[in-house]
Amino acid sequence: MWGRRIPGAVRAIKSVGRSSVKVFSLRAWPWWGLAVLTVVLHLWQLDTRSYHHDESIHAKLSWDLAESGAYHYDPTYHGPLLYMVVAATYKIIGDTDFTARLPIALAGIALLGIAWSLRRPFGARAAWWIGLLFTLSPTLLFFGRFLRMDLLELATASAALTAFYAVIRGKVGAWKWVGIWTALAFATKENAYVTAVVAAGAGMVVALDHGMTRSVPLVITWVRDRWMGFVLSIGIFVLVAVPLYTVGLTRPEDWLFPVKAITHWWQQHSIERVPGPWWFYLPRLLQYEFLILGAALAWIIRRWRKLHAIEMFLFFFGVLSVAMYGYLGEKVPWLVVHQVWAFIPLAGAQMARTFGPHGRWWSRFLATAALTATIVVSLTANFVLDEFSPDNPRVESLHFVQTTPEFTAAAKEAAKLGQSGDQPVIGAGGAATWPLNWYWRRLPVRWGMPKSEGEMLQMVFCDVENRDEVQERLGPDFVGEVVPLRSWFLMYVDEPSFGDWARYFLTREAWGGVGSTDVIVFRRVDGVLSDEDSMYWDPEPAEPAGSN
């Protein structure tokens, strides 16, 4: 049904362009243009978006590592590589909102190198399109500007698979890179275990198509003839991963990190810590990655009976990834990253054919429309609607929860006050602790409840339920204001109609409204106020639409 295969090798797909392009030749200028584009998109205004709760944790733990060397592996916060890379960045160029996100942005930029390495199996034109799709993908760009591990894990896992493909082609020296990149992927995030299972499943599908009676002996012979390469890769994996997890062997109890990782995250899957329906990712894939999915599907359908092993592997890798993450109990938008990437090479091959000499006018029209829409969606998600709050109800579903710009403005206002001396003049407790731990990392801060009226505090952040107690402790010279701390998209409120879905896809206006967790920001005012004036400005504030 799938056509014949070449045992033990994967042929280049010659129909999408030659693979020979020299880096500094005239023919390489589209690659240089693409490099400039991906650098600009990943680095432009990288520091302007408010720090998400998780981002602030990652940034602050990296800062602690850089300042004091304090780190130990906790699977709740994923692997050590991100913290070590970000800490090294702080040491080299300083700690700012920009530099904290910089390593992830560089990982997103590095995906262009993965595309370049795919010139042999897919051809030069297809590889360029793969690079463009890596660059413009709304999901990959959004989380390539976000201080989470997912883009870093994607880049290292992609490099590991690319190195293994080089091994299949007979490059003996690539074995060491298989070990290095695999170790770095596993040291980044526990999704690497899922990726390994999915890759094994996709490989099994290829073997089944080839015929198990033929595939099993071929695989056994291939592994037996290359056992030294496997030993080398495993040895390098251990030499790289174990020192990372044990912090240079100073925490030897973490050497058995796979047990710790799998135990913790299987428990989180079992209790569905962040629940959602099995179809949680499907609307997001269609909303943002319609070009990649549509082009990949067109390529598979057109070549259904002529698929090579690498094409079949990538297609089922993508399908199994979508199925696996639909099954797993943790439903968060950034996991879309791990579901779309395998489709990108197939989509790139289709785009190269569509805009090549064999493309038809109607396919070029459809592809141009989808590409234009993808550009608009990607730029909007990353530079227009990259933040939201109850006052700005247009929201991208790539957001899970997001720190509001109103809160960040108040945090930075307080940070300026906090630079006035060695004594704390700002304070915070409750839900606002993150991201304030990052924003105020170098400042003297009164964490928790203010102690007495006599303190020199100028601004204090507290939870809404503690406002009366905090007001009493602060005294009559403070006035409080409601500020939304975090907002989220209330997707599961009511049953959306088809019109609600269509309106949201076109306008990003959420049918369920925008929810928020609010805090009280107290500010000292000049002069002594009356008891009535000094009270919280609205004892029973009206809740914003959809707020919690």
One-letter amino acid for residue 434 of the chain: W
pLDDT at 2: 33
Residues 228 and 256 in one domain: yes
Q: Are strands 459-463 and 426-428 parallel, antiparallel or unpaired?
A: parallel
Q: In whole angstroms, how far apart are CA 86 and each of 58, 99, 252, 523?
A: 9, 8, 23, 34
463 has which bridge partners?
A: 519
| Same domain membership, residue 107 and residue 42 | yes
Check whether residue 359 and residue 498 sit in a common domain.
Answer: no
CA atoms within 13 A on the CB side of 440: 33
Q: Are residues 169 and 314 in the same domain?
A: yes
Q: Residue 44 has what pLDDT?
A: 97
Residues 6+ apart with CB under 8 A from 187: 79, 80, 81, 240, 241, 244, 245
- Give the 3-state secondary structure of 355-373: CCCCCCHHHHHHHHHHHHH
Q: How far is CA 24 from CA 28, 30, 36, 122, in A?
A: 6, 11, 15, 21
Domain boundary residue, one of 352, 384, 416 = 384
Residue 444 lies in a domain: yes
What pLDDT was estimated at residue 496? Answer: 79
Sequence-ordered strand ranges (E) for 184-307: none
For residue 158, being part of any structural domain is answered with yes
Instruction: List CB contacts of 381: < 8 A, sequence separation 6 or more.
Output: 138, 141, 142, 288, 396, 398
The last residue of one of the domains, among 332, 352, 384, is 384
Q: Are 104 and 27 contained in the same domain?
A: yes
Residue 41 domain flag = yes
Task: Name the DSSP class of 328.
Answer: S
Distance between CA 102 and CA 144 in Å, rounded?
Answer: 9
Q: How far is it, in rounded angstroms, from Cα 269 to Cα 277?
A: 13
User: What residues contact 312, with CB distance under 8 A and at least 6 apart?
Assistant: 2, 202, 205, 206, 209
pLDDT in tens, 515-534: 899 999 999 986 444 444 43
Q: Does residue 306 share a domain with residue 267?
A: yes
Beta-bridge partners for 426? 445, 459
Model pLDDT, residue 456: 85
3-state secondary structure 186-212: HCCCCHHHHHHHHHHHHHHHHHHHHCH
* Closest of 335, 378, 293 to residue 40, by C-alpha: 378
Q: Could you tell me if 101 and 47 are in contact, meaning their C-beta atoms sit under 8 angstroms apart?
A: yes
Are residue 407 and residue 380 in the same domain, yes or no?
A: no
Q: Which of 328, 358, 384 is the last residue of a domain?
A: 384
Are 40 and 94 part of one and the same domain? Answer: yes
- 478-489 and 445-447 beta bridge pairing: unpaired
| pLDDT profile of the chain (548 residues), mean per 10 | 35 49 72 97 97 97 95 95 98 97 98 95 95 98 98 98 94 95 98 97 92 88 92 97 94 92 92 89 96 98 91 97 96 96 97 94 96 98 93 88 95 93 90 96 92 79 94 90 90 76 88 89 72 39 38
Structure confidence at residue 492 (pLDDT): 64
Query: In which order are the strands placed within the sheet that holds 445-447?
Result: 401-403, 478-489, 514-524, 459-463, 426-428, 445-447
- Res 275: pLDDT: 87
User: Which value, in Å, is the radius of gyration of the alpha carbons in the chain?
Assistant: 26
Question: What SS3 state is found at 392?
Answer: strand
For residue 13, being part of any structural domain is answered with: no
pLDDT at residue 392 in the model:
81
Q: Does residue 392 lie in a domain region? A: no
Domain count for the chain, please give it.
2
- What does residue 468 show for φ and ψ, rounded to 5 degrees? -65, -45
Give the separation between CA 41 and CA 50, rounded to whole angstroms: 18
pLDDT given at position 245:
97
The conformation of residue 14, written as its DSSP 8-state character, comes to G
CA contacts within 13 A on the Cβ side of 462: 24
Residues 429 and 397: beta-carbon distance below 8 Å? no
The pLDDT value recorded for residue 453 is 61
Q: How many CB atoms lie within 10 A of CB 98?
A: 16
Examine residue 329 and state whether it is found in any structural domain, yes or no: yes
Q: Tell me how far apart the alpha carbons of residues 463 and 428 are, in angstroms, rounded to a whole number.
A: 9
Helix (H, G, I), strand (E, B) or coil at 533: helix
Whether residues 431 and 340 fall in one domain: no
Q: Return the pLDDT at 449.
A: 86
- Determine the residue type at 333: P
Does residue 313 share a domain with residue 438?
A: no
Domain span at residue 448 reads 401-534
**Residue 53 CB partners (closer than 8 Å, separation 6+):** 401, 403, 434, 435, 486
**According to the model, what pLDDT value does residue 515 have?**
87
Q: Are residues 161 and 41 in the same domain?
A: yes
The whole-model pTM stands at 0.90
Tens of pLDDT, residue by residue over 425-475, are 999 999 999 999 999 999 999 999 888 765 789 999 999 999 999 998 998
For residue 9, tell me if it sits in a domain.
no
Q: What span, in angstroms and rounded, lies between the C-alpha atoms of 62 and 72?
A: 11
Query: How would you write 438-498 as a 3-class SS string?
Result: HHCCCCCEEECCCCCCCCCCCEEEEEHHHHHHHHHHHCCCEEEEEEEEEEEECCCCCCCCH
Q: Are residues 440 and 378 in the same domain?
A: no
Angle of helix 97-117 relative to helix 124-136, nearest 10 degrees?
Answer: 160
In this structure, is residue 115 part of a structural domain? yes
CA–CA dist 417, 167 (Å, integer): 58
Task: Supply the pLDDT for residue 22.
Answer: 65
